[in-house]
C-alpha cells in the first residue's frame, strides 16, 4: 500500500515540476523583492534535491487558510515542511531570523491542513519535521544554511 502511495506521490510531484518549468519559462517578472524570493526558492529546491530530498510541492496553499508553505518534501521517511528565506546580501541579522513566532504558527496550521489530505492511519505514522533554508544570493555565488528540525509542533 505504501509503495503504491509513493508511486502516486512521485507522479504528482513530476506533474508539479512540469508546471513549475512552464511557469519559469514564461519570464514572469514582478517587484525585485519578489523576484529575489522566487530565485531563492528555486535555488533552495535544487539544493535540497542535491541533498537527497524529494520535493513534492512548492508554495502549497490551503483553500481555507491564509499563507503558503514554500516547499514540502521527503527527507527519507520524514515529511518536511520547509520555509525558505532569501537575502541578496549578508546583513547583521541572518535570514532565518525572519521566521518569527507568527510565521511558525502559520506554518504549523498549514502543515496540519496538508496532513489532513493523508489517510488518518498514515497521518499518524508519518514523521514530520519543520526545516528552514536560508539562501544568500551573493556576487560570489549562492550560499545556503539548512536548519533541519528548526522548530517543532
- Domains of the chain by range and CATH? 33-151 (3.40.1350.10)
Query: Is the pLDDT reported for residue 20 higher than 70?
Result: no
pLDDT tens for each residue of 89-110: 887 788 899 999 999 999 999 9
Residue where the block lists cell 526545516:
131
Consecutive H or E run containing 143: strand 141-151
Query: Is the pLDDT reported for residue 15 higher than 90?
Result: no
Distance from chain centroid for Cα 76: 15
- Cα gap 6→56, rounded to integer Å: 11
pLDDT of residue 35: 80
Average pLDDT, rounded, for the chain? 88
Whole-model pTM? 0.78
- 71 pLDDT band, cuts 50/70/90, is very high
Burial state string for 8-47 with b = 16 or more CB within 10 A and e = fewer than 16: eeeeebeebeeebeeeeeeeeeeeeeeeebbebbbbbbeb
Amino acid at each position: 500500500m505504501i509503495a503504491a502511495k509513493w508511486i502516486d506521490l512521485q507522479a504528482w510531484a513530476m506533474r508539479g515540476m512540469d508546471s513549475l518549468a512552464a511557469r519559469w519559462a514564461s519570464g514572469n517578472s514582478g517587484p525585485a523583492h519578489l523576484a529575489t524570493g522566487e530565485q531563492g526558492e528555486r535555488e533552495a529546491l535544487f539544493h535540497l534535491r542535491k541533498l537527497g530530498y524529494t520535493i513534492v510541492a512548492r508554495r502549497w496553499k490551503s483553500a481555507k487558510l491564509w499563507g503558503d508553505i514554500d516547499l514540502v518534501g521527503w527527507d527519507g521517511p520524514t515529511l518536511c515542511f520547509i520555509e525558505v528565506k532569501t537575502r541578496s546580501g549578508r546583513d547583521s541579522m541572518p535570514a532565518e531570523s525572519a521566521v518569527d513566532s507568527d510565521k511558525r504558527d502559520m506554518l504549523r496550521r498549514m502543515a496540519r491542513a496538508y496532513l489532513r489530505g493523508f489517510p488518518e492511519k498514515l497521518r499518524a505514522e508519518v514523521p514530520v519535521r519543520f526545516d528552514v533554508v536560508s539562501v544568500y544570493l551573493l556576487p560570489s555565488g549562492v550560499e545556503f544554511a539548512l536548519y533541519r528540525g528548526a522548530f517543532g509542533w
